[in-house]
Amino acid sequence: MSANDLHAALLRPAILHILRAAGYHSARPSVVDAVSDIAARYMLLLAQRTAYHAWSNHNEAVPTVSDARMAMTDAGLLIPSMTGAEEAWKEILRRPLDEYPERNGLRAKEARRREMEDTADVRDFLDWVMGPVNKEIMRIAGLDVAKGIEAAESAVPKEDYLTALKKKHSKTGEESRYQGTVIGIPAEDRPVKIEGGGPESLNDWITQTQAKTAKLDTIKAGNGFVAEAAEDKDVVMENAMDT
């Protein structure tokens, strides 16, 4: 299984949970694959735009919150109420905060109003994340966090779908079945044994190959010497016959 196939298989359960939370309780495999591919491409677009803004803004590979917000705006996840040019003109034309009097908290109220206006798209996104739609997705996926101290103490720790799936299909245990794969522990280094007889390791095979090569070189050198000796003998016999 290639890396792309593995990532697509790991993304499918999350897409199924989202579809179930939206009210779709059945779908064709081709539909699920198409939605999973769209989600993967969208996340790839967000990552690429975030990296682009990180390098463009501060020439570093580590993005900031501003870089992520700009990438989300490029991808259409955050929809600002005004364009960049409109925001720039509004900032130039509106009254500076220093001109607002501090009495009765007028300056603080104006600053708070401007902040609420400037971050309206971010607050809409946060409302969706904390809202009932995302909570329903978490409930379908079995990740809804219990509220309250008593509920937290009595709650049984839940496993994610990948761990549960591995335990379900693994009869010999994770340590032995998934060892050396991307979802298991790293495999221990051990010599590679060549099947089919002959050398049992790569080192033995290299040694035998070098020995065969040296032997062939010796045979070729010997054949060349015999051929030269035979040619010299023929020349001597021809000279004797001529005389």
| Side-chain half-sphere CA neighbours of 237 within 13 A | 6
DSSP class per residue in 61-96: SS--HHHHHHHHHHTTSS--SS-HHHHHHHHHHSPP
Cβ–Cβ < 8 Å for 170, 178: yes
More confident residue, 242 or 83: 83
- What number of other Cβ atoms are within 10 A of residue 150's Cβ? 9
- What number of other Cβ atoms are within 10 A of residue 15's Cβ? 21
143-193 pLDDT, tens digit each: 766 544 444 455 556 566 667 777 777 666 555 666 667 667 777 777 666
50-59 pLDDT, tens digit each: 999 999 998 8
Q: 142: pLDDT confidence band, cut at 50, 70 and 90?
A: confident
* Statement: residue 83 has pLDDT above 50: yes
Distance CA 23, CA 16 (A): 11
pLDDT at 148: 43
Cβ–Cβ < 8 Å for 140, 21: yes
* Statement: residue 131 has pLDDT above 80: yes
Distance CA 160, CA 151 (A): 19
**10-15 average pLDDT score:** 88
First vs last Cα of the chain: how many Å apart?
Answer: 81
